[in-house]
Amino acid sequence: MRMTTVPRCLMRALLPLTSALALVWPLQAHALFDDDEARKAIIELRQRVEINRQAAEAANAATTRTAEEARDGQATTRRSLLDLANQIEQLRADVARLRGQNEQLTREVSELQRQQKDVQLGLDERLRKVEPMKVSLDGKDFTAAPTEKRDFDAAMETLRRTEFDAAAQAYQQFLRRYPDSGYTAAALYWLGNAQYANRDYKAAVESHRRLVTQFPDHPRTPEAQLAIANSQVELKDTKAARRTLEELVKAHPQSEAAGAARERLSRLR
């Protein structure tokens, strides 16, 4: 149980009264007991002392309560400030976590965009490998698959290196692989030339004749007929060569090949 403390100001107020009571009591004790008025005065004085004591205790209790309430208020304030500080720290941690998540998401989005770009580039590359492209060759326009163009160009490059046997094989493989190609007429023409250069004259005649038969209006057809006549001359078949040259002049009189055919006809007579 807490001891009640009397304020110093109240103690100072009670000291004169207590001292007076102490002085009066020894000197007039006999008279007080014999005198009713004196007894009443003492009782009244005691009552006042008791009232003052109670007032002092009440004041002290009020002061104590006020101090305790103040301490409780300070404690509550400290707790509130601590809670607020904890909330601020938690918010900071949440912001840092969200910032980290945002940075991670940004990296992931960038990676996905890069992957999508790579996929698109790969798809475009694959489409370029299979998507038909427009080709112009020997005055003719047609479409060809990228692999088709690649194989024809490879055969032409082999022929330019004067590797006639390898070039002939490349053209033959091309014709088997792409039977309906827009390159077919050109492949037959250059196949016959490679065979002629390789002194395979019969095969050259056959290849060039296929061109003349299948593509009579092709720009290479007059040259193919002239090449047939050359192969027939090499085969010592002059009559066949003459007949081929005459057909050339008749079918394509305005071509350069027809001019060369007329000159050769004059030598064959």
What does the pLDDT look like over 67-77, one tens digit per residue?
777 787 787 88
- The pLDDT value recorded for residue 91 is 87
- The pLDDT value recorded for residue 129 is 63
Q: Which of 199, 171, 196 is nearest to 185 (CA)?
A: 171
- The pLDDT value recorded for residue 24 is 46
User: Two tokens at 77?
Assistant: 């304030």
pLDDT in tens, the chain (269 residues): 444 454 555 455 545 545 544 544 454 444 444 567 877 888 888 888 888 888 878 877 877 787 777 787 787 888 888 888 888 988 888 888 888 888 888 888 888 888 888 787 776 566 566 689 999 999 999 999 999 999 999 999 999 999 999 999 999 999 999 999 999 999 999 999 999 999 999 999 999 999 999 999 999 999 999 999 999 999 999 999 999 999 999 999 999 999 999 999 998 86
Please, how many CA atoms are within 13 Å of residue 105, restricted to the half-sphere of its CB?
A: 6
Q: What is the pLDDT of residues 225-248, one digit of tens each?
A: 999 999 999 999 999 999 999 999
